[in-house]
Chains A and B, each alone.
Chain A
Amino acid sequence: MTRLTLSGVSFWYPAAERPALTDVSLAVAPGEVVALVGGVGAGASTLLLAAAGLAPRVVGGRLTGNVERTVASAIVLPTPWTQVSGMAFTVRDEVAFGPANLGWPIERIWPAVGRAMERLEVGALAERDPATLSGGELQRVILAGALAMEPGLLLLDEPTAELDSSGTQAFWRLVRTLAREDRASVVVATSDIDAVAAFADRVVWLEQGRVRGAGPPAEVLVDEAFLREGPGGPMVVLAWRAAGCAGPLPLTVADAAARWVRP
Chain B
Amino acid sequence: MRRLHPFTLLALAAALPLLAWILPAPRGALAPALAAATLAAAAGPRRVLLPALLTAAPLWFFLFILHGVGGMLVFGVRLTAMIASFVWLVAVLPPARLVEAMVAAGWGAPSAYLFAATLSAVPLLQQRARRIVEAQRCRGLSPRGSPLARLRALRALALPLVLSALHEVDERALALETRGLGAGHRRTPLAPPPDSALQQAARLALLLACGLALAWRLR
Contacts and interface: CB of A to CB of B under 8 A. Distances in A.
Nearest to A93: B190
A236 to B, nearest CB: 35
Nearest to B97: A89
Interface in B103-128: 103, 109, 112-113, 116-117, 120-121, 123-124
Given A86-B117, A93-B96, A98-B180, A59 B190 contact: no
Nearest to A92: B190
Nearest to B95: A89
Nearest to B191: A93
B171 A86 contact: no
B131 to A, nearest CB: 14
Interface in A100-159: 100-106, 109, 131, 145-146, 149
A157 to B, nearest CB: 10
A58 interface: yes
B112 A58 contact: no
B181 interface: yes
Interface residues of B, number: 34
Interface of A is mostly: loop
B120 A101 contact: no
Contacts of A100: 103, 109, 187-190
B117 A87 contact: yes
Given A87-B99, A149-B180, A101 B187 contact: yes
Q: How large is the interface on A (under 10, 10 to 19, 20 to 34, 35 or more residues)?
A: 35 or more
B190 A87 contact: no
A223 B188 CA distance: 51
Interface in A41-79: 49, 52, 54, 57-59, 73-75, 77, 79
Contact of B171 (A83, A89, A104): A83
Given A101-B180, A101-B185, A102-B183, A82 B168 contact: yes
B105 to A, nearest CB: 15
Specify which of B103, B123, B187, B189 lies most central, judged by the most chain A CB atoms within 10 Å of its CB. B187
A96 to B, nearest CB: 6
A189 to B, nearest CB: 14
Given A87-B112, A89-B94, A101-B181, A82 B186 contact: no
Specify which of A49, A87, A93, A149 lies most central, judged by the most chain B CB atoms within 10 Å of its CB. A87
Interface string B150-190: 00000000000000000010111111111111010111111
Contact of A58 (B103, B121, B173): B173
A104 B174 contact: no
B113 A102 contact: no
Given A79-B171, A85-B179, A93-B96, A103 B113 contact: no
A107 B200 CA distance: 28
Interface of A: 49, 52, 54, 57-59, 73-75, 77, 79, 82-90, 93, 96-106, 109, 131, 145-146, 149
Interface of B: 94-96, 99, 103, 109, 112-113, 116-117, 120-121, 123-124, 168, 170-181, 183, 185-190
> Which 9 pairs of residues, A with B, have the shortest CB-CB distance?
A103-B185, A101-B180, A86-B117, A83-B175, A82-B171, A98-B179, A86-B120, A89-B96, A87-B116
9 contacts: A58-B174, A77-B175, A86-B116, A87-B117, A87-B120, A98-B180, A100-B109, A101-B109, A146-B179
